[in-house]
Chain A
Amino acid sequence: MSSPSYPRRRDPAKIAGAVIIVAILAVASLLIVDWMGRETEPVVLRVYTYDSFMVWGDDPATIDNRTFDAFEEQYGVEVRIERLTTDANGIVSRLVAEAANPVADVVIGIDNILILQEEAKSVLTPFTPSNLNLINDTLVNLLDPQHHVVPFDFGLVTVIFDSIEINATTNPELDALTFSDLATPELASALVTENPFFSSPGLAFLLSEIAFQEKLLGQDWEDWWSAVKDDINIQPGWSEAWEVWDLDPERKLLVSYGTDPAYSSWWSGEAPTTSVAPYHHDGNDYAWLQIEGIGLVKNGPNPTIARAFIEYCLTSAVQENIATNQWMFPANMDVTLHPAFDYALHPDDVSPLNDLLSAAEIAANLTTWLDEWENIITSW
């Protein structure tokens, strides 16, 4: 018979080799990326913040360079803004987990409610920047008199609406909104808010309601939630809530920030269609003041540079970027605001509801309020 060419046995060593090569390539590429991202400067300053930090401007890709390059050059360090895919609560959780071996030096985004938690304080070292005089004293004290965190920016949390779909003509109560108005079936079915467990505007809204009902009206705060719980829409976070508000024709009111009209106008280049409806009582407008702080991580690797960085963050070099990238008010009052901010709800326009609830009262009752809220909302 003609000698056929018999197939050689496939060598499994080759297959194993191929797998090993794939593994090595994957590890190598990761190591290379790791190495390339490694500190080009001798010192790396890690700043933990939340995912949407300064990403709302016209060029989010370069905002870090534009804002922090000057500091990097001056101190010969690399500043790395680590936007964790979470919010300030998540950052505190991470810092608690990392407490034995912290890698971050600075944290931005812990607000005036979160700082009341012992866990938040436990991961921070109080620090009083030498240039703290740039910031309004009231803000500093409202946030944390002990300076675990000092103000970075602030904003007002209130109800907003799309004035094309709903306005003072269709609903006159929007001009002087009360929680009783929000409890009517019509407005309750139009409201989207955020879960206070997962979202700081959601928590601000809960505290606003408590302050308004208990302190201004002397009513039981729980009744309002019992009345609206089946009608309002509660989303886990602000962006989910915004999406529902944007998509769902039924949902015309959103718990959000008083700067939203400014953003709307800046984004469209026209007069904003987004309007604000602060809460109204007895001739006064009210809103919740949220102050976001910057603080020094306890036992962080580079405390000296970190302190310098916090001071740098209070200067106009950083502060002037806040308005049009973060859409909050800069804590530094000397900064000139973008004209779009004319449409925003300004702190001068309202009385902060925070004044009605002392820090001590919030610190003592927050967990109870949240548990009771959870109980009301989940009941059938």
Chain B
Amino acid sequence: MVRVELDGMKRVFKDGTFVGPISLTVEDGELLTMLGPSGSGKTTTLRMIAGFIQPLEGSIRFDGIDVQAVPPRERGIGMVFQSAALFPHMTVYQNIAFGPEMAGWSQSETVERVEELSEILRIQRLLMRRTNEVSGGEAQRVALARALALRPRLLLLDEPLSALDPQLRERLQMEIKEVQKTLGVTTIYVTHSQDEAFAISDRIAVLNEGVVVQIGEPQDLYDSPRSAFVARFLGSGNVFSGVVEESSGNTATVRVGGHLFRVTGSAPVGMEVSFTVKPEDVVLSTEVSVKGIRGRVLGVVPQTGSFRIKLSFEGQDVVVETNDDRLVEELLESTGITVSFSFSETNAHLLNHQV
């Protein structure tokens, strides 16, 4: 469909805050997610791609052609908002048919296209309804169908599912991904939910404070975050800070408080570094050895299929994920007890950037 390149795009707001410079490339047919907390600049970036707002600097190219001067309606995009933004004075059919009709398609072509999309999105029975007679999930399906009706080269989705309940959200994530793959339309998806990003994306660009901090496939980001921000934001990962005591090859020993940890990565001795460990890689034991690293249990939270345990260690929180029922039972009986934890050096990664 289209390959989108952002090159040093920057926008400054009245209050002096700014977004960018942002450079990233979305490959043809790819589904790229822009992930970040609110205020990180994802929506602004998306609106610059759509053309609703103009960047102060930098350029934006579709298939190598600069589209800066092209107004949104001529960029060949489809867009879905969190609020669905259905036209309230039209029926569902009229909403979906809006694009084709404005473009001057014939009635039969339009009907055919609307029926095709409504079949894919399973909203045929809604076509004659007014927009105030459809539910939130249905409204997003209609909005998606409407955005796709003109066969856009690029689909922009701005937190389309945030307002929906979790089950519905999961189902629709799958559907969006399916539809996107079927149609092969290049898609940029904005969300603040890492679950959603992981479920749906080919690649994820993590944004923070107006810049892309890391971009890559979901697994890569998860396994090797390059900054404490990404580690925390993606994996709810544990981030420890300390000083390098010893370094050889691709392993290093880091002192955190009074404890030594062996981690993967290299850094000069004496340097202050951070490293991260995912919650599921931390191993927990109720047998407290003198040598072992100890933490006090703060709480146990059940998850689907596992438990999340929060420990206090050296004044910071450490999150552990486990599905050991016996262990959890023990912990639940006596909250506040001290346990020991450990992780293998292959699961602990030095972070490149101090953020």
Contact = CB atoms under 8 A, between A and B. Distances in A.
Nearest to A9: B101
A16 to B, nearest CB: 17
Contact of A4 (B97, B101, B128): B128
A159 B127 CA distance: 81
B343 to A, nearest CB: 57
A6 B127 contact: yes
A13 interface: no
B94 A3 contact: no
Contacts of B128: 4
B68 interface: no
A15 interface: no
A7 B111 contact: no
B338 interface: no
B93 interface: yes
B91 interface: yes
A7 B93 CA distance: 8
B214 interface: no
Interface residues of A, number: 7
Nearest to B101: A9
Nearest to A3: B111
A7 B94 contact: yes
Nearest to B124: A1
A7 B91 contact: yes
Interface residues of B, number: 12
Contacts of A8: 107
Contacts of B111: 3, 6
B117 to A, nearest CB: 14
A230 B111 CA distance: 81
A1 B118 CA distance: 12
Contacts of B93: 6-7
Contacts of B127: 4, 6
A10 B274 CA distance: 63
Interface string A1-44: 10110111100000000000000000000000000000000000
Contacts of A6: 93, 97, 111, 114, 127
A6 B114 CA distance: 11
B94 A9 contact: yes
B248 to A, nearest CB: 70
A252 to B, nearest CB: 65
Interface in B62-95: 91, 93-94
Nearest to A4: B128
A207 B93 CA distance: 80
Interface in B119-144: 124, 127-128
A1 B112 CA distance: 12
B114 to A, nearest CB: 8
A7 B114 CA distance: 13
B250 to A, nearest CB: 62
Contacts of B114: 6
A4 B111 CA distance: 10
Contacts of B101: 9
A8 B107 CA distance: 9
A7 B91 CA distance: 9
B133 to A, nearest CB: 15
A76 to B, nearest CB: 62
Given A6-B93, A6-B127, A7-B94, 14 more contacts: A1-B115, A1-B124, A3-B111, A4-B127, A4-B128, A6-B97, A6-B111, A6-B114, A7-B91, A7-B93, A8-B107, A9-B94, A9-B97, A9-B101
- The 6 A-B pairs at the shortest CB distance, nearest first, are namely A6-B93, A9-B101, A1-B124, A6-B111, A9-B94, A4-B128
Interface of B: 91, 93-94, 97, 101, 107, 111, 114-115, 124, 127-128
Interface of A: 1, 3-4, 6-9
6 contacts: A3-B111, A4-B128, A6-B111, A6-B114, A7-B91, A9-B101
